[in-house]
């Protein structure tokens, strides 16, 4: 499995987990981030994000996609999470490329 494919699969799994956690919160079972998988840290490592300034933007972009999954119906979850994960990966790559371009 290529690095890109691995990252997309990790993001996809995090999206599915986020959908589960947000669904549980809607019925009053909040986890207070106790069950956060911290997949973003693995994604950052795989994408070699070490710059603190870049980390903030990277995190903002990543979590904006995590919020997007709350609008996905459970019946469409498998299909749509792959598309969302792919878009998330591409946006994160763009953030990295822009940072490299401007010397951040």
Instruction: Give the DSSP letter of residue 69.
Output: G
Q: Tell me how far apart the alpha carbons of residues 72 and 50 are, in angstroms, rounded to a whole number.
A: 32
Confidence bin at 85 (pLDDT 50/70/90): very high
What's the predicted TM-score (pTM) here? 0.89
Q: Where are the domains of the chain?
A: 3-102
| CA pseudo-torsion sign 42, 92, 15, 63 | positive
pLDDT per residue as tens digits for the range 33-59: 777 889 999 999 999 888 777 888 999
pLDDT at residue 3 above 90?
yes
């Amino acid at each position: 499995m290529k690095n890109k494919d691995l990252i997309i699969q990790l993001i996809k799994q995090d999206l599915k987990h986020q959908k589960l956690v947000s669904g549980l919160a809607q019925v009053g079972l909040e986890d207070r981030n106790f069950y956060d998988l911290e997949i973003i840290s693995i994604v950052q490592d795989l994408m070699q994000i070490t710059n603190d300034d870049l980390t903030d933007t990277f995190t903002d972009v990543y979590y904006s996609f995590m919020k997007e999954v709350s609008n996905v119906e459970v019946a469409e979850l498998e299909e749509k999470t792959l598309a969302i994960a792919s878009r998330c990966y591409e946006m994160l790559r763009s953030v990295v490329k822009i940072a490299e371009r401007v010397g951040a």
